[in-house]
A and B are shown apart, each in its own frame.
Chain A
């Protein structure tokens, strides 16, 4: 338990992905089975207990310490699990520290009524970090910023294999993953990937570089499709097992019972998950209503119906199609959909075009209908096999040009890691006119990339030289009609938002240019953004 607690503690304070990878990989290398497997399961969300409710933890602590002292402590710390971990009184002569696997075993077999006593015994035996880890584990919220994808990458690093090799077999593996570790450490053969409904690692596209790529590419070799603004999914239905996976192999089927119910086929489809009404694509914000609900209620499902727009077929019945060229897979897909008559899956149409220039015109001015909502175009070589990862050459994405606005820098926050001495996260605003006709800035977004290291130094200096107020790591910066720094912000789209004061939220904002030359009063107005909402 100690090693696991130390790992969680480090992960919670480590923002950089590469550093997290090192921490997880080293932990997996140093910790014996089955503890490391259970740790991996809890990090990836494959193992979760919610046996300990807050009231339950509160009861445990109040039997051990004065309730006034506890209330003062809780008030200071602000987080129940953390407070209890810190204040839990030491008991001399307590048991030795439990291993993670002992905790897991005990919880899996314990009666609900025994949990309180188990919990108290473990709290007595652990140190503060151990108690924190235990309480986080028991309340089902580790929140240390480790995605399943990151954990799999750490496994791949541990074994010196490609991540796709892990993904291929992941869904056949169960905690504590002893077979998996045995293979990664060279002690046994690779576990079999033949599990019905397993995830197949997806093929991703490179962003096209218009200047250097197009001259080398022949339009004849490529098919074009619209790049839909949903999320990439893989729908598998094999021998009665139905699964819906995200791009990284997370099983998201529980959030989309409507889609799962409609997978009446034998095979694996690659496509885009979209909310659609009367056959037309709804905005991304509608899909978001569904994405963050673990188990949606029927009202939400009815209001935001989800569909798959298919663009590839990986498995047709028993036949793995991934080694076939795209041209052939595409025919099989159309034939497969025609045969299956699926209520919630349609085909992503190919875009006819005659040369790159014609395609560029289509991209700039898409025809009426769904294409208006597309993020741009996808280009796929007719002869491309389905290859896991992001190979260079066979598939390209060609996004629409971003929207641009001029905004004024309002707040800056210190970054992390390499940027911890730089003010590198910028909140920017646009002008809003009030009833008296006065102009005030209203924040509309936050950007922390898009500039070079040299520009970062200049931005940092500007922030330090023009600080008005400090709140912890945040500084507010001089910004008025007569003085302020204008940032040209590029973004992909706008949504209405009730959480933001301005009423809008930007997708993927970044700094595209620093307008040292532009007077603050000439930055954009909120009304301009509101018009873009349509």
Chain B
């Protein structure tokens, strides 16, 4: 069998497909790039040619402006394009709107690069599709057995119960502006919350973009320009950094909440002075990571960014061949 290293290897610019002459999620400017999803540490501006899903390209255009790359090539999920003899197919990763795994086929070899992914249902994006392969390049953000995300409907119920218990306060929910924020809004709608949800200005463009792709978010209003109202009983969604910043002072006595997989560990919530941690993540947790590897049953697993040590140990005792790639340049934080 062809050696996998001949098809894909680590370079300072990122994961490089050697015969295809492109880089997946380059961390510096590259002539040719394949982008898995729109989070800013994976999708940077200034590349020559970019191949990605239509949704990911739209997200990049919304964030960086139309001229974010020399040329763009939108592809549909499941569509295969050829690049110097390498077949490239994007398959849903279930991470955020437009997120994809990259399937590379070359000679007798198939490698799947998972990008960031999760396995549980998400009303804002297509579900992860497992692809049988020789090498599975997996993310490892939550690659430690302590990270097992609970059911998200239970977390949303916690938020709604708190809103009912403290009607005189507002709930300020920190959520990454791309993906998490829209997912929280959808989950609130699914739980029957039909009131106006207030959002930070940084979310506005992305909310509109999600809606243009058919993700209905219900009544929203800009929290910054909503004027001198009391916000008592309101839910406000803002980027995580904003909830501890001066911007949040316009709200009376808020309950600070944060939706993130990191909230599973108490010390993390305490560090940020969060009163209502919501364990909701767009990344695979420990069980999803290990179950996915077991399900796909690849010849080899390569681990990219995150906590790879424990996954390597798991692979060792399970008899799975695995190695760390130690990719640089992706944020340790979930998403962005």
Are A127 and B145 in contact (CB-based, < 8 A)?
no
Closest-by-CB residue of B relative to A418 is: B253
Pair B244/A86 contact, Cβ less than 8 Å:
no
Decide: A13 near B275, CB < 8 A? Known: A78-B267, A82-B266, A420-B244: yes
A66 contact from B166, B243, B317, Cβ within 8 A: B317
CA distance A225 to B254 in the complex (A): 45
Contacting A72 at CB < 8 Å: which of B256, B277, B309?
B309
Contact A420 B145 (CB under 8 A): no
Q: Is B272 an interface residue (CB 8 A)?
A: yes
Structural contact, B144 and A73, CB atoms closer than 8 A: yes
Asked whether any CB of chain A lies closer than 8 Å to the CB of B107, the reply is no
Residue from A12, A128, A421 in contact with B148 in the complex, judged by beta carbons closer than 8 Å: A128
CB of B276 within 8 A of CB of A73, answer no
A77 and B265: CB pair below 8 A?
Answer: yes
**Bound Cα distance from A516 to B317, whole angstroms:** 64
Task: Tell me whether B212 is interfacial, beta carbon within 8 Å.
Answer: no
Of the four ranges (under 10, 10 to 19, 20 to 34, 35 or more), the interface on chain A belongs to 35 or more
Contact A420 B267 (CB under 8 A): no
- How far is A472 from B272 in the complex, measured between Cα atoms in Å? 8
- Chain A residue at smallest Cβ distance from B268: A77
Stretch of A19-27, A190-198, A372-380, A483-491 at the chain-chain interface: A19-27
| Interfacial chain B residues near A6, Cβ < 8 Å | 158
Distance between Cα atoms of A13 and B271 in the complex (Å): 11
CB of B264 within 8 Å of the partner chain: yes
- Tell me, in angstroms, the Cα distance from A505 to B274 when the chains sit together: 30
State whether A69 and B275 are in contact (beta carbons under 8 Å apart), knowing that A13-B270, A420-B254 are contacts in the complex.
Answer: no
A1-57 interface (Cβ within 8 A of B): 6, 10, 12-15, 19, 22-23, 26
Query: Which residues of A are found within 8 Å of B158, using beta-carbon distances?
Result: 6
Does A532 sit within 8 A of B, measured CB to CB?
A: no
Contacts of B246 in A (CB 8 A): 421
- Once bound together, how far apart are the Cα atoms of A492 and B158, in whole Å? 43
List residues of chain A with CB within 8 A of the CB of B276: 10, 13
The yes or no answer to B165 lying at the interface (CB within 8 A) is yes
Interface residues in A62-93 (C-beta closer than 8 Å to B): 65-66, 68-70, 72-73, 76-79, 82-83, 86-87, 90
Which A residues lie within 8 Å of B255 (CB)? 19
> What residue in chain B is nearest A422 (Cβ atoms)?
B249
Closest-CB distance, A26 to chain B (whole angstroms): 6
Q: Does A473 belong to the interface (CB within 8 Å)?
A: yes
In the complex, chain A residues whose CB is within 8 Å of the CB of B5: none
Q: Is B248's CB under 8 angstroms from A13's CB?
A: no
Task: Evaluate contact between A72 and B313: CB separation under 8 angstroms.
Answer: yes
Which residues of chain A have C-beta atoms less than 8 A from B313's C-beta? 66, 68-69, 72
Q: In the bound complex, do residue B165 and residue A23 qualify as a contact, i.e. CB atoms below 8 Å apart?
A: yes
Residues of B28-60 at the interface with A, using a CB-CB cut-off of 8 Å, are none
Are B269 and A13 in contact, with the CB atoms below 8 A?
Answer: yes
A389 within 8 A of B: no
Residues of A near B270 (CB, < 8 A) are 13
Bound together, the chains give a CA A83 to CA B313 distance in angstroms of 18
- Give the B interface residue count (CB, 8 A): 41
Contacts of A12 in B (CB 8 A): 266
A421/B248 in contact, CB under 8 A? yes
Instruction: Decide if B245 touches A72 in the complex (CB within 8 Å).
Output: no
Instruction: Give every chain B residue within 8 A of A72 (Cβ-Cβ).
Output: 144-145, 309-310, 313
**A473 is contacted by which of B249, B253, B273, B275 (Cβ under 8 Å)?**
B273
Chain B residue numbers with a CB within 8 Å of A65 are 145
Q: For B144, B252, B317, which residue has the most chain A Cβ atoms within 10 angstroms?
A: B144
Given contacts A68-B313, A77-B146, A417-B253, contact A86 B273 (CB under 8 A): no
B219 contacts A by Cβ under 8 Å: no
A416 close to B (CB within 8 Å): yes
Chain A 104-146 interface mask (CB, 8 Å, partner B; 1/0)? 0000000000000000000000011100000000000000000
Q: B314 in the interface, Cβ–Cβ < 8 Å?
A: yes
A414 interfacial by beta-carbon distance below 8 Å: yes
A22–B314 touching, CB < 8 Å: no
**Smallest Cβ-Cβ distance to A25: which chain B residue:** B165
Rounded to whole angstroms, the CA-CA distance of A127 and B267 in the bound complex is: 19
Query: Would you call B150 an interface residue if the criterion is a C-beta within 8 Å of the partner chain's C-beta atoms?
Result: yes
Cross-chain contact B150 with A87 (CB below 8 angstroms): no
- Taken residue by residue from 109 to 123, chain B's Cβ proximity to chain A (1 for < 8 Å, 0 otherwise) reads as 000000000000000
Q: Which 10 A-B pairs rank lowest in CB-CB distance, beginning with the nearest? A: A86-B146, A87-B145, A421-B248, A418-B253, A73-B146, A72-B310, A13-B275, A472-B271, A420-B273, A73-B145
Name B's A-contacting residues (CB within 8 A): 144-148, 150, 158, 162, 165-166, 243-249, 252-256, 264-267, 269-277, 287, 309-310, 313-314, 317
Known: A19-B166, A77-B267, A416-B273. 14 other contacts (CB 8 A): A10-B276, A13-B270, A15-B275, A19-B255, A76-B265, A77-B265, A82-B265, A82-B266, A86-B265, A417-B275, A420-B243, A421-B243, A421-B246, A421-B247
Name A's B-contacting residues (CB within 8 A): 6, 10, 12-15, 19, 22-23, 26, 65-66, 68-70, 72-73, 76-79, 82-83, 86-87, 90, 127-129, 414-418, 420-422, 472-473
A-B pairs with beta carbons under 8 Å apart, 14 shown: A14-B275, A19-B275, A70-B145, A72-B310, A76-B144, A77-B146, A82-B265, A416-B273, A418-B252, A420-B256, A421-B243, A421-B245, A421-B246, A421-B247
